[in-house]
């Protein structure tokens, strides 16, 4: 019964002799929320008169803000632009955010978590929000493909190692 009051991830092991916790890495989701959303259909209703054969581009960006020692806000921005010829049919943008608790990790692990793992957690919510906005705008549903944020994060790390100017880990634009 004494163990019922322990927090998640606490093994009940005593702290080290110096009082420091001997726990391994910990990750927690405090909140997932829609921070901002916008939809534009600048050429409606004319665009609805044409046969629907759009050129769709998806752009991703993520940024991280430290809220406290172990608390971080990660914002994943997904922008979808559909063009009919030279005209923009619609532009939908969602900023899906989350507040995460990340403990007992080094800086490299922290960057990987905020640059890859957290966006992986939030992406399904952003996909749904984009789809809903597009359908409410009168267009056929946009079903965004899954994204391997781990691979995108590794590509970003490789570009940085090669000396290419890149944003700090956990931040950057990606076009897919």
Write down the mean pLDDT value for the chain.
Answer: 85
Does the pLDDT at position 175 exceed 50? no
Rounded CA separation 93/152 (Å):
20
Q: What topology does CATH give the domain 23-158+170-175?
A: Bacterial Protein-export protein SecB (3.10.420)
Rounded CA separation 164/143 (Å):
32
Segment 49-106, tens digit of pLDDT: 999 999 999 999 999 999 999 999 999 999 999 999 999 999 999 999 999 999 999 9
For the chain, the structural domain boundaries read: 23-158+170-175
Cβ(27)–Cβ(71) below 8 Å: no
Rounded CA separation 34/36 (Å):
6
Q: Counting Cβ atoms within 10 Å, is residue 43 exposed (0-12), middle (13-18) or buried (19+)?
A: middle
Whether this prediction's pTM lies above 0.85 is answered by no
> 167 pLDDT band (50/70/90 cuts)?
low
pLDDT at residue 31, rounded to an integer: 97
């Amino acid at each position: 019964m004494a163990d019922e009051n322990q927090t998640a991830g606490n093994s009940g092991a005593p702290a080290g002799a110096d009082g420091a916790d001997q726990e391994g890495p910990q990750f927690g989701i405090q909140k997932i929320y829609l921070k901002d959303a916008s939809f534009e259909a600048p050429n409606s209703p004319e665009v609805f008169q044409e046969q629907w054969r759009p050129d769709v581009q998806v752009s991703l960006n993520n940024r991280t803000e430290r809220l406290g020692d172990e608390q971080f806000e990660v914002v994943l921005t997904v922008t979808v632009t559909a063009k009919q010829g030279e005209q923009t049919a619609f532009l939908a943008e969602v900023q899906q955010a989350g507040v995460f608790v990340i403990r007992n990790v080094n800086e490299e692990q922290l960057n990987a978590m905020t640059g890859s793992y957290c966006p992986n957690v939030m992406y399904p919510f952003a996909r749904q929000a984009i789809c809903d906005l597009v359908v409410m705008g009168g267009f056929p549903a946009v079903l965004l493909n899954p994204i391997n944020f781990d691979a995108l994060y590794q590509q970003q790390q490789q570009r940085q190692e090669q000396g290419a100017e890149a944003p700090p880990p956990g931040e950057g634009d990606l076009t897919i």
